[in-house]
């Protein structure tokens, strides 16, 4: 029997706290903390407007070697390793696949993805392709991919090789259990250990941003309103006081 | 006068039988029959949701050589070889173009494409670009392309070279008359001689797939429902019997 | 204090005259005038259906060198050179950015783009990425980009280096003040000195094109209707005479 | 029996006249005659110092399709099309191969190349690889290639498809019988019809070049000596008169 | 303390038997046995004429993540994982490195390579670069690389991640202990389990090959001499009998 | 008359001090000083064994625009901007060219390079190609290039645009006057302001390196000898004392 390891999941409240923060803020904050490349480059959103946060289950593909990937794979479905990453899916999980950027191998199709959705998976990030878009799109899954292909994953040059091991996906090392934050900007890898500081930094809400945005849209000077110049604080305070619901 | 060869078209019923089968099923079936790479990689659907099946008319571009592509091409339109592939278009044909993956040459524009539509062409697959998207999109043609450019096809590095000869398009050899099946997964080349077996294989409908899909979406075990395990057949039979319209 | 040069803008009526002409016609006309590569290859429209014409303000990125891009950039916003190109924006201007095709650096985000819109900017052409798509898309700006990233522009390998200098963007040399024409076909660079001739050429309206388009859509022969053959002129004249509003 | 067409060869004296002229002079002259891209980009010299001129025999590879390239190819060597291009080799011929830039397919090995040498072949230009370098190098053949691979040509994604048809090799269209000139700068395609003018132009020998080269190497001003300024002609004439063997 | 696993080595006589066979024969034989891609594409010989056979020790690089690759790596050399693969080197071993094709990271320099040579390492295959070529070349090591860089391996985007785990190198999956055969054609991965059959197949020596080679070099027909036609066997037998040292 | 700016050159003794240090040491030292990417990636040594240090004169190419690069360039050589960078050459200077990685444009040929050598130029670094290798190689110039082409530089897509301005070459920003250090590892950009610290760091000669190298080559443990472990210092001291010429 094939056994593959599980993952440790971050606490629910950490995931919830991150849900209010977009990928841009997280990547930018990580950048200032010294993490230069948290962005998985290559896979892009195929379901615009969707935003997800969740722990990474990982699936690693390797170049196909016919001596390692035999006939049995077809006759006994349980030997097909890409199924096994799905067996681990819990509510809110994100499946992250290193498909080596290949444009000719469809990692999952309609039925596998239906199962993924049935298990409550949050979304998938694949450095490569899925297959059967005409049917798959009915599931309305959040997906970050390089594209689509009608071919199946071992039809050309890849074979599934390992589940829940560290992988490189789109130029970023992903450790199983890392938090994935993905929206229309792309997918970002947030190490669990850094999440508390990222959440804290994001909390320091620049209350004046709404005010500045309004002024900038009116053509007001960038130098005065972004970042908000000290000379403009009284103006901002007055605006804030005049807003409905303000206690001033 | 320029003469270019025509093509042999597959029987209408073959085309019709294929229309019920998607590119993913065809590519997958071909894969199991030993055809590894039927997928034209590069051109993607620019008219999502469209699906076509039809015989390939081919147009080959070659690197421009100024001694071979002279002034006369401009003064006498009949010397422009890309027009000639369109002269062959019959109801349901697919024009397949090897434009060498070039992103700076627009193979056809608004007027040519209008003529193609007027002739009843099913769609086009171009390993390269078309031009004049703002006008062309009004035709609502099924198109698989790498993209768009405002430049015309001989403005930069290409010249039309041959019509209805074997071409390589997106990494696949296309023989004039081959069947093209294209949908949101991409375009697939199906040799006419293999079509009967592909159709036959696709007929073996897995009736339990709808049942399994329903169960998987409810979070039921993949091991039991895909492929349907023998232990689950009684459950499936009971479900089938209970459906409205079932004879049980 | 950082000083960056301004640009000379073409006359308003030139811009207006160009607004009726699409990128395909302009690129094609330039091609016949000997300008082979006016098309900025790489950046594509991220706001389909938008069409803009305006003078180019340019921003040049260079590979980051830590000795040239110091801490001060962060503490004093005025040292951040990408802000300065925005200070020059007037109604109808187009910001063109050489971001070296980089997919990991977000040139502008939400606030900068809001300011750009507030100033009346027509649109942006970036050989690279912007960041914060979830917020930025609310501005409904005409944008030609390679894509999106959550990372900021100096997080990885680039630094802003110069404003309103000649740049190479998508394989085309752009001189500050050049006219940018962009639509769903892509962005084209039109040198001001060549604009009068392009406008004049485009004025030579092929009145028969509407007639031909109608005929072609009915499946009529391309040889007769495009370009309109002399034999078909009487037919065209009769059609024209019969149209409502015709003086015949 | 497989039949493949032969080629027309240019007259011997044309080949001889070209042998004194390098690829750089020929490419430059063609450039001034309006042929922008005569250089086969990709294949580089693997036998430095060799220089060849000869007519092109062409071999075209296409993406492998298992239904088109069957078992018989192995059992009956005569069905292997790459052999057939070699059957046409006469003294001084150049075999030019479109192997689609593939780095995993070895077009010819040791024995085929021995036969090529035995027939008097001048050299090969391959947009791809040969195999068995350890043995092949003993033949000391002039070769322009992308590299080497131990795999044979149909082991991965290619199949030989046609002999002595027009091909694209390294971005240049090669018509069978075109003259190939290759040296350490690379391989250039010279259409036979343009050869007389190229030879004539090259004959206009800049006699002062040797003089200028000597002066430049001494650090003399480029403005005066290249091209030779009219002010410097007396100096040159004096130098020429003083050389041993001069009649002055 | 860092512990990394060792490898199982194939029997000495297997290595010896393979030493008489070149990479081309091995790759070709594997191809006929169904292994399509045994060739590590990318790394090329930097020490022409060298030929090696030996078991693979593997080193895996991953995209650098600053939270995973900390300061300690520099202060405690034993934490530097690339050293550890060298600790395993025994006489005849081949170090194979997945450096992700990176051209900016020098995996090993002068001192490490000196240690590798001191331990009796047979050679290295790196999908990436080494550094300090001016000093390293004095060691005269057999090396297959993409190139050289003066930068060290963690200076840019990589970090050493694992030792003696399965890696992908140049598009081939390499399992620790696989046999590497490398010469001027490149490096090939030979699974130990397939080695006996490869050796056996190679033993079937085509004795007539020397005869055929001689004939082909004289311009004799390929059809008769390669493969040797049955009609030509008497001629071959006569030649063989006449050679000095023949018992005939 | 065309005027182009000159450069400031670093003091001679700085250049001399750097001549004893290789590119690997300089790149590594810069890496530890926070300069991640000093290595010009792409151009490689075409004259193995050569090593140079000198200030950068820069030449910038841009995509050709026919309206900006007119006929006059050919009739008046002084308008050809690539000549002007050579006018600045003094003894020991390095010409660095951003030719945009183009493989079809030969930046300089035989005569220009002869002049360069005559002026005492140290070498050239070109992110692109030179032309006329058969003649140029006779000059034995130190050259770092992507390759060679027989075509001249404006034959295809480039035009010389500026002299002694900041350029990007192989992914590194080069400011005119920056120090270039190049050897078989490649070319490195050393900012003048950082040179003193780099020289000082390199002075801290690890005297034990020769000892360690000898031990490692004998198969001694890396842990003990590199870096030299404190336990091994007595052994090293004894060895040093015993060497001929030692005062001990």
Contact D66 B34 (CB under 8 A): yes
Amino acid B245: pLDDT:
67
Give, in degrees to the nearest 5, the angle at Cα C90 between C89 and C96.
45
Amino acid C248: pLDDT:
43
Amino acid B75: pLDDT:
72
Exposure string over C13-37, b if 16+ CB within 10 A, otherwise e: ebbebbeebbbbbbbbbbbeeebbb
Interface of C with A (CB under 8 A): 77-78, 83, 86-87, 103-104, 106, 109-112, 114-115, 117-120, 131-135, 137, 147-152, 155-156
Cβ contacts of residue B69 below 8 Å, gap of 6+?
Answer: B154, B159
Strands (E), chain F: 39-40, 44-45, 52-63, 94-98, 123-126, 129-130, 143-145, 147-148, 158-163, 167-169, 172-174, 179-183, 186-190
Distance, CA of E151 to CA of F31 (rounded, Å) = 8
Contacts 24+ apart (CB under 8 A), F174-178: F174/F40, F174/F56, F174/F58, F174/F96, F174/F98, F175/C68, F175/F56, F176/F5, F176/F7, F176/F56, F176/F57, F176/F58, F177/F7, F177/F8, F177/F9, F177/F10, F177/F55, F177/F56, F178/F55, F178/F56
The answer to whether residue E233 scores a pLDDT higher than 70 is yes
Which residues on D lie below 8 Å from E184 (Cβ)?
133-134, 137, 148
Amino acid C247: pLDDT:
54
Strand B172-174 relative to strand B167-169, pairing: antiparallel
**B43 three-state secondary structure:** coil
The answer to whether residue F130 scores a pLDDT higher than 90 is yes
Q: What is the CA radius of gyration of chain F?
A: 22
Amino acid F219: pLDDT:
95
Instruction: Dump pLDDT digits (tens) for C119-152.
Output: 999 999 999 999 999 999 999 999 999 999 999 9
Which residue shows structure tokens 């390589």?
B168
Which residues on F lie below 8 Å from D144 (Cβ)?
none
Distance, CA of B80 to CA of A238 (rounded, Å) = 70
Distance, CA of D229 to CA of F157 (rounded, Å) = 29
Mean pLDDT value of segment A48-68 = 97
pLDDT band at D2 (very low <50, low <70, confident <90, very high): confident
Neighbouring chains of D at 3+ CB pairs under 8 Å are B, E, F
Give, in degrees to the nearest 5, the angle at Cα B217 between B211 and B221.
80
Which residues on B lie below 8 Å from D173 (Cβ)?
62-65, 68, 161
Distance, CA of F54 to CA of F120 (rounded, Å) = 11
Q: Which of B16-30, C162-176, D24-38, F58-72 has the weakest average pLDDT?
A: F58-72
Instruction: Dump pLDDT digits (tens) for D72-124.
Output: 666 788 888 999 999 999 999 999 999 999 999 999 999 999 999 999 999 99
Which residue shows structure tokens 């006939």?
A71
Instruction: Give the CA distances from residue A244 to residues A217, A237, A238, in Å, rounded to whole numbers and listed in that order.
Output: 21, 14, 12
Mean pLDDT value of segment C45-51 = 97
Instruction: Dump pLDDT digits (tens) for C64-103.
Output: 999 998 766 667 888 889 999 999 999 999 999 999 999 9
Distance, CA of C149 to CA of A24 (rounded, Å) = 8
pLDDT band at E14 (very low <50, low <70, confident <90, very high): very high
**C85 three-state secondary structure:** helix
The answer to whether residue F178 scores a pLDDT higher than 80 is yes
The answer to whether D104 touches D151, Cβ cutoff 8 Å, is yes
Exposure string over A24-51, b if 16+ CB within 10 A, otherwise e: bbbbbbbbeeebbbbbbbbbbbbbeebb
Distance, CA of F167 to CA of C63 (rounded, Å) = 9
The answer to whether C63 touches F172, Cβ cutoff 8 Å, is yes
Distance, CA of C31 to CA of C24 (rounded, Å) = 10
Amino acid C1: pLDDT:
56
Tokens representing residue F115 in the block: 């002049």
Mean pLDDT value of segment D7-30 = 96
Instruction: Dump pLDDT digits (tens) for E174-220.
Output: 999 999 999 999 999 999 999 999 999 988 767 899 999 999 999 99
* First-residue to last-residue Cα distance in chain D: 68
Amino acid A183: pLDDT:
98
pLDDT band at D51 (very low <50, low <70, confident <90, very high): very high
The answer to whether E160 touches E136, Cβ cutoff 8 Å, is no
Which residues on D lie below 8 Å from E232 (Cβ)?
none
Instruction: Dump pLDDT digits (tens) for D126-154.
Output: 999 999 999 999 999 999 999 999 999 99
Instruction: Dump pLDDT digits (tens) for A194-218.
Output: 999 999 998 876 789 999 999 999 9
Mean pLDDT value of segment D172-189 = 98
Distance, CA of C158 to CA of C160 (rounded, Å) = 7
Bin A132: left if φ > 0, else alpha if -120 < ψ < 50, else beta.
left
Bin C16: left if φ > 0, else alpha if -120 < ψ < 50, else beta.
alpha
Contact C216 B135 (CB under 8 A): no
Distance, CA of D105 to CA of D99 (rounded, Å) = 8
Whole-model pTM? 0.97
> ipTM, 2 decimals?
0.94
Amino acid C206: pLDDT:
72
Strand E158-163 relative to strand C123-126, pairing: unpaired
Tokens representing residue C167 in the block: 């740049």
Which residues on B lie below 8 Å from A155 (Cβ)?
27-28, 31, 36
Instruction: Dump pLDDT digits (tens) for C24-33.
Output: 999 999 999 9
Phi, then psi, of C86 in degrees rounded to 5: -70, -30
Helix residue ranges per DSSP H, B34-89: 72-75, 81-87
Judge if the upstream peptide bond of residue B227 is cis by omega within 30 degrees of 0.
yes
Phi, then psi, of F190 in degrees rounded to 5: -115, 110
Cβ contacts of residue B123 below 8 Å, gap of 6+?
Answer: B50, B52, B54, B94, B95, B141, B142, B143, B144, B182
Contact C157 F171 (CB under 8 A): yes
Cβ contacts of residue D94 below 8 Å, gap of 6+?
Answer: D52, D54, D55, D56, D57, D121, D122, D123, D124, D125, D180, D182
Element (H, E) at F25: helix F23-32
Distance, CA of D132 to CA of E45 (rounded, Å) = 13
Contact C39 B112 (CB under 8 A): no
Rounded to a whole number, what is the distance in Å from the CA of B39 to chain A's nearest CA? 7
Amino acid A243: pLDDT:
84
Which residues on C lie below 8 Å from A215 (Cβ)?
118
Distance, CA of C200 to CA of C215 (rounded, Å) = 28
Which residues on D lie below 8 Å from E51 (Cβ)?
134
DSSP state at residue C117: H
Rounded to a whole number, what is the distance in Å from the CA of F242 to chain C's nearest CA? 45
Q: What is the CA radius of gyration of chain E?
A: 22
The answer to whether B80 touches B73, Cβ cutoff 8 Å, is yes
Which residues on D lie below 8 Å from B63 (Cβ)?
37, 168, 171-173
Neighbouring chains of B at 3+ CB pairs under 8 Å are A, C, D
The answer to whether residue F247 scores a pLDDT higher than 80 is no
Contact B28 A137 (CB under 8 A): no
CA of residue D3 relative to chain centroid, distance: 26
Amino acid D248: pLDDT:
44
The answer to whether residue F75 scores a pLDDT higher than 90 is no
Contact D184 F118 (CB under 8 A): no
The answer to whether B80 touches C230, Cβ cutoff 8 Å, is no
Contact A118 B31 (CB under 8 A): no
Mean pLDDT value of segment F212-231 = 95
Q: Shortest CA distance to E91 belongs to which of E124, E115, E52, E119?
A: E119
Rounded to a whole number, what is the distance in Å from the CA of D153 to chain B's nearest CA? 16
Instruction: Dump pLDDT digits (tens) for F93-115.
Output: 999 999 999 999 999 999 999 99
Averaged pLDDT of chain E = 94
pLDDT band at A2 (very low <50, low <70, confident <90, very high): confident
pLDDT band at E248 (very low <50, low <70, confident <90, very high): very low
Give, in degrees to the nearest 5, the angle at Cα B116 between B115 and B122.
150
pLDDT band at F205 (very low <50, low <70, confident <90, very high): low
CB pairs under 8 A between D and E: 97
The answer to whether residue F248 scores a pLDDT higher than 90 is no
């Amino acid at each position: 029997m094939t056994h593959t390891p599980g993952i440790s999941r971050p606490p629910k409240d950490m995931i919830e706290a991150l849900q209010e923060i977009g990928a841009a803020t997280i990547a930018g904050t990580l950048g200032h903390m010294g993490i230069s490349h948290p962005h998985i480059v290559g896979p892009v959103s195929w379901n615009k407007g969707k935003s997800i946060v969740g722990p990474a289950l990982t699936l690693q593909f390797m170049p196909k070697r016919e001596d390692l990937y035999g006939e049995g794979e077809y006759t006994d479905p349980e030997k097909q390793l890409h199924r096994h990453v799905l067996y681990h899916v819990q509510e809110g999980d994100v499946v992250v696949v290193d498909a080596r950027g290949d444009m000719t191998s469809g990692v999952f199709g309609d039925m596998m993805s239906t199962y993924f959705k049935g298990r409550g998976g949050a979304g998938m990030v694949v450095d490569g392709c899925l297959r059967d878009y005409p049917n798959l799109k009915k599931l309305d899954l959040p997906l970050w991919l390089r594209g689509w292909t009608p071919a199946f994953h071992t039809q050309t040059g890849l074979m599934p090789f390992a589940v829940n091991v560290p992988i490189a996906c789109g130029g970023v090392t992903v450790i199983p259990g890392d938090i994935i934050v993905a929206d229309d900007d792309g997918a970002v890898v947030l190490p669990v250990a850094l999440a508390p500081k990222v959440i804290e930094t994001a909390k320091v809400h620049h209350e004046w941003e709404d005010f500045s945005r309004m002024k900038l849209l009116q053509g007001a000077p960038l130098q005065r309103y972004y970042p908000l110049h000290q000379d403009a604080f009284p103006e901002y305070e007055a605006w804030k006081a005049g807003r409905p619901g303000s206690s001033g």
